[in-house]
Amino acid sequence: MNRERTRKVVITGLMAAIACLLGATHWGFIPWIGGVSLTILQIPVIIAAVLEGPLSGMMVGLIFGIFSMIQAAVAPTGPTDVWFTNPVLAVLPRLFIGPAAWGVYTLLKRLPALGLLAAGAAGSLTNTVLVLGTIGLLKYLPWEALGAVVVTNGLPEMFAAAVITLAVIGAYWQIPSKKKGSDLEDRTSGLS
């Protein structure tokens, strides 16, 4: 196995493990107004996609979705958790987080900081729109109620994802390479 492929497998596995850890410990849910929580579980998906490409993001998104479905069935924390036992709601939307984040970063990678902020925001917004859209299509909640959730939860989650994505990947790319003369362009050249 070559070095690049090994890195891809390691980062994908690490981000999947972090998503599971955040879910299992509930560290991925930040208490918020009205008894609901903001989730940051989409962030490992976004990071995997930006660092290793859309397939890596899809794999971590798949793990996130499956883990979310299992958690909803085994250890629900609220009355709406039963909805997430449905794989159409728990898994399917999470498959698109990574490709969306990767696509946005790819468009803006010449401006790395802006690209990372936008990728974090786009990945989180993808999760919000697809999960809430699926909830609406499945008629779990009326469409009118979903707009309020976008404002109260979706926007703060999007902001958090943007900032954390920039902080984590920005710090990762600043780690000096063992090769002399390596710079940000060298570390991001394999992402296209």
Query: Which residue range is the domain that position 58 belongs to?
Result: 3-176+183-191
**Per-residue pLDDT at 32:** 74
Whether the predicted pLDDT of 149 surpasses 80: yes
Whether the predicted pLDDT of 181 surpasses 50: no
Q: Measure the CA–CA gap between 147 and 162, rounded to whole angstroms.
A: 21
CATH of the domain at 76: 1.10.1760.20
**Per-residue pLDDT at 182:** 47
111-129, pLDDT tens digit by residue? 999 999 999 999 999 999 9
Q: Are 88 and 69 contacting, i.e. CB atoms less than 8 angstroms apart?
A: no
pTM of the full predicted structure?
Answer: 0.87
Q: Which two tokens stand for residue 96?
A: 């698109």
28-61, pLDDT tens digit by residue? 877 777 656 788 999 999 999 999 999 999 999 9
Name the pLDDT band for 90 (thresholds 50, 70, 90). very high
57-80, pLDDT tens digit by residue? 999 999 999 988 998 898 887 788
Please give the tally of structural domains in the chain: 1
The secondary structure element, H or E, covering residue 11 is helix 3-25
SS3 track for 116-174: HHHHHHHHHHHHHHHHHHHHHHCCCCCHHHHHHHHHHHHHHHHHHHHHHHHHHHHHHHC
Q: Are 35 and 28 contacting, i.e. CB atoms less than 8 angstroms apart?
A: no
Q: Are 116 and 165 contacting, i.e. CB atoms less than 8 angstroms apart?
A: yes
**Per-residue pLDDT at 57:** 97
